[in-house]
Amino acid sequence: MDADPARDVTVVVPARDAGRTLASCLDSLVAVRDAPGSRVARILLVDDGSNDDTATIARDRGIDVLETGGRGAGAARNAGIAERSEEHTSE
Protein backbone atom coordinates (compact mmCIF):
# COMPACT_ATOMS: atom_id res chain seq x y z
CA MET A 1 0.00 0.00 0.00
CA ASP A 2 1.32 3.44 -0.86
CA ALA A 3 1.80 5.53 2.24
CA ASP A 4 -0.29 8.68 2.02
CA PRO A 5 0.12 10.71 5.20
CA ALA A 6 -3.29 12.30 4.66
CA ARG A 7 -4.92 8.85 4.58
CA ASP A 8 -3.73 7.19 7.74
CA VAL A 9 -6.79 5.55 9.28
CA THR A 10 -7.61 1.85 9.20
CA VAL A 11 -11.15 0.93 10.25
CA VAL A 12 -11.23 -2.46 11.98
CA VAL A 13 -14.59 -4.25 11.90
CA PRO A 14 -14.77 -7.41 14.05
CA ALA A 15 -17.65 -9.65 12.96
CA ARG A 16 -19.07 -13.13 13.40
CA ASP A 17 -22.07 -14.41 11.46
CA ALA A 18 -22.97 -10.84 10.54
CA GLY A 19 -24.04 -11.56 6.97
CA ARG A 20 -27.62 -10.43 7.51
CA THR A 21 -26.67 -6.89 8.56
CA LEU A 22 -23.10 -6.41 7.38
CA ALA A 23 -23.69 -5.10 3.84
CA SER A 24 -25.18 -1.77 4.89
CA CYS A 25 -22.41 -1.20 7.45
CA LEU A 26 -19.66 -1.91 4.94
CA ASP A 27 -21.34 0.12 2.20
CA SER A 28 -21.37 3.12 4.55
CA LEU A 29 -17.71 2.63 5.44
CA VAL A 30 -16.74 2.34 1.76
CA ALA A 31 -18.59 5.61 1.07
CA VAL A 32 -16.63 7.30 3.86
CA ARG A 33 -13.34 5.82 2.63
CA ASP A 34 -13.98 6.95 -0.94
CA ALA A 35 -15.19 10.46 -0.05
CA PRO A 36 -12.93 13.38 -1.01
CA GLY A 37 -10.70 14.33 1.89
CA SER A 38 -11.29 11.10 3.79
CA ARG A 39 -8.44 9.93 6.01
CA VAL A 40 -9.61 6.30 5.80
CA ALA A 41 -7.04 4.33 3.84
CA ARG A 42 -8.22 0.80 4.62
CA ILE A 43 -11.16 -1.15 5.95
CA LEU A 44 -10.25 -4.45 7.60
CA LEU A 45 -12.96 -6.94 8.46
CA VAL A 46 -11.88 -9.48 11.08
CA ASP A 47 -14.06 -12.55 10.54
CA ASP A 48 -14.14 -14.33 13.89
CA GLY A 49 -15.10 -17.82 12.76
CA SER A 50 -18.32 -17.05 10.89
CA ASN A 51 -20.52 -19.86 9.55
CA ASP A 52 -22.26 -17.58 7.06
CA ASP A 53 -21.25 -15.32 4.18
CA THR A 54 -19.65 -12.58 6.31
CA ALA A 55 -16.21 -12.81 4.66
CA THR A 56 -17.68 -13.06 1.15
CA ILE A 57 -19.75 -9.91 1.65
CA ALA A 58 -16.62 -8.00 2.64
CA ARG A 59 -14.46 -9.40 -0.16
CA ASP A 60 -17.15 -8.59 -2.73
CA ARG A 61 -16.73 -4.93 -1.71
CA GLY A 62 -12.95 -5.01 -1.99
CA ILE A 63 -12.48 -5.02 1.77
CA ASP A 64 -9.52 -6.83 3.31
CA VAL A 65 -10.48 -9.83 5.44
CA LEU A 66 -8.50 -11.33 8.30
CA GLU A 67 -9.90 -14.64 9.51
CA THR A 68 -9.54 -15.67 13.14
CA GLY A 69 -10.74 -18.82 14.83
CA GLY A 70 -13.73 -17.69 16.83
CA ARG A 71 -11.94 -16.35 19.88
CA GLY A 72 -14.47 -13.59 20.60
CA ALA A 73 -15.07 -9.96 19.67
CA GLY A 74 -12.25 -8.57 21.82
CA ALA A 75 -9.69 -10.97 20.38
CA ALA A 76 -10.91 -10.22 16.84
CA ARG A 77 -10.57 -6.48 17.45
CA ASN A 78 -7.09 -6.96 18.89
CA ALA A 79 -6.06 -9.11 15.90
CA GLY A 80 -7.15 -6.33 13.56
CA ILE A 81 -5.22 -3.73 15.52
CA ALA A 82 -2.15 -5.96 15.55
CA GLU A 83 -2.45 -6.43 11.76
CA ARG A 84 -2.50 -2.67 11.27
CA SER A 85 0.37 -2.15 13.68
CA GLU A 86 2.55 -4.67 11.82
CA GLU A 87 1.69 -3.02 8.50
CA HIS A 88 2.46 0.41 9.87
CA THR A 89 5.87 -0.57 11.23
CA SER A 90 6.89 -2.14 7.91
CA GLU A 91 6.17 1.03 5.90
Tens digits of per-residue pLDDT, 12-70? 999 999 999 999 999 999 999 999 999 999 999 999 999 999 999 999 999 999 999 88
How far apart, in whole angstroms, are the C-alpha atoms of residue 4 and residue 31? 19
**The pLDDT of residue 87:** 61
How far apart, in whole angstroms, are the C-alpha atoms of residue 77 and residue 7? 21
The yes-or-no verdict on residue 72 having pLDDT over 80 is yes
* pTM strictly above 0.75: yes
**The pLDDT of residue 90:** 41
If pLDDT is split at 50, 70 and 90, which confidence band does 79 have?
Answer: very high
Q: How many CB atoms lie within 10 A of CB 74?
A: 10
Decide if 54 contacts 18 (C-beta within 8 A): yes
The DSSP element (H or E) to which 71 belongs, if any, is none
Query: Residue 65: which of 42, 88, 86, 37 has the closest Cα?
Result: 42
Q: What distances in angstroms separate CA 51 from CA 16, 20, 46, 56, 70, one per listed residue?
A: 8, 12, 14, 11, 10
| 47 bridge partner residues | 15, 67
